[in-house]
Amino acid sequence: MKNQKNIEQAYQNAKQLYADLGIDTDLVLKKLDEIEISLHCWQADDVGGFETPDAELSGGGLQVTGNYPGKARNVEELRSDIEKVMSLLPGKQRLNLHAIYGDFKGKKVDRDQITIEHFQSWIDWAKKLNIGMDFNPTCFSHPYADDGFTLSCKNEKHRKFWIEHVKRTREIAAEIGKQLGKPCINNIWIPDGSKDISVDRYTHRALLKDSLDEIFKVEYPKDYLKDSLESKLFGIGSESMVVGSHEFYLGYAIKNNKMICIDSGHFHPTEQIGDKISALLLFVDELLLHVSRGIRWDSDHVVIFNDEVQFLAQEIVRANALNRVNIALDFFDASINRIGAYVIGTRATQLALLYALLEPTHLLKELEEKGKYFERLAYIEIMKTKPFGAIYDYYCLINNVPVGDYYINEIQKYEKEVLSKRS
């Protein structure tokens, strides 16, 4: 690789600077290499799915901005794109799949009828790549979600339809985990809520509780399946009330030993999402973290290396919780090259985790215990200018993926040779 000697020399220089602070960068890279990041399939096609040839996202509190050419139009193109993304990333990744991305082979299969048959080719593909998979029920973009309610719907026919759908996704997810030998997280998010003032919130939440109780009646081995519940502050069309609020799911998860999903775009813009990690880990075994970037609202911008994602990573590392926090990406930007969005977002998340792992946490905690707050703040500031970028460049080098801006040329080449040929 071009400039290999420079990269290696920069790493050795950085390694010594961190060693002066008691940080073993070789050990840090081993820890970073153990972290799996779950890549969300829906960035590649703008949350359209493959239920019908011309499937598009509609309703349910979601919105994708942009119409950049080259989005994946079928299972084969989506897999090709994901493989390209993974070839440009160091470390370990897995795939996060929504139920609407089944291999339906041109047949119309309603969501209460999906089976493992429609996802077996995905499992076979994952086996070939030696990666794990996660799964999600798709409780939006469907006629039975048009009134804004699914698992909390007062229309019993519609509610039973969604209960059956989620039951089937749990069964499929358990089979995915069994076949791949890695637990599959099945994360439940619903768009249920009210655009304007809602009077009978209690009944909708009681119905949601009943639906979840019914869904979770069947238990699967945790080696195969992990259940997760994802809350939201508001959505498009549910500005005044969301049934599955943070408080609702937090109570349900703690009482029923389920995983809580914290999405970094699903809270008030001024909330520090990282602060929730240590609080929740005292009461639940594991967390699912959806890393996104909201600007003014839950706009799901591409993740960048900013203060928010840094704080998320620092809180995980400071709580010694890398084995208890499952990290997934959840953004969808159709205004730029979608492969580029994946690579930028994943690398930014990895860079934040690396930055956190390179922090002299023991020193900072020791200063804090002694009340030396000036010294604590000084070291926090000093760490900001340490050459962590040189460590990440070396990590890319030893993983045989493009270092620095070299991935840009690779993505441009893929766009010219593959994406541009998609109508």
List, for residues 42-101, the tens digit of each pLDDT value: 999 999 999 986 666 555 566 788 999 999 999 999 999 999 999 999 999 999 999 999
Q: 366: domain CATH number?
A: 3.20.20.150
Instruction: Give a yes or no: residue 422 inside a domain.
Output: no
Residue 216 has pLDDT above 80, yes or no: yes
More confident residue, 262 or 269: 262
Q: What is the pTM of this model?
A: 0.96
* CA dist list (Å): 57 to 45, 108, 125, 138, 233: 10, 17, 25, 11, 21
List, for residues 287-335, the tens digit of each pLDDT value: 999 999 999 888 899 999 999 999 999 999 999 999 999 999 999 999 9
pLDDT of res. 106: 93
List, for residues 343-393, the tens digit of each pLDDT value: 999 999 999 999 999 999 999 999 999 999 999 999 999 999 999 999 999
Residue 15 has pLDDT above 60, yes or no: yes
pLDDT of res. 84: 98
Instruction: Give a yes or no: residue 50 inside a domain.
Output: yes
Instruction: Give a yes or no: residue 105 inside a domain.
Output: yes
Q: How confident is the model at residue 1 (pLDDT cuts 50, 70, 90)?
A: low
| Residue 180 lies in domain | 36-373
**Catalytic residue numbers, as ranges:** 189, 230, 232, 263, 266, 290, 298, 300, 330
pLDDT of res. 43: 97
pLDDT of res. 127: 98
Instruction: Give a yes or no: residue 31 inside a domain.
Output: no
Structural domain count, the chain: 1
Instruction: Give a yes or no: residue 286 inside a domain.
Output: yes
Sign of the torsion angle spanned by Cα atoms 109, 113, 115, 119: positive
More confident residue, 419 or 299: 419
pLDDT of res. 269: 87
Instruction: Give a yes or no: residue 176 inside a domain.
Output: yes
Instruction: Give a yes or no: residue 394 inside a domain.
Output: no
Instruction: Give a yes or no: residue 398 inside a domain.
Output: no
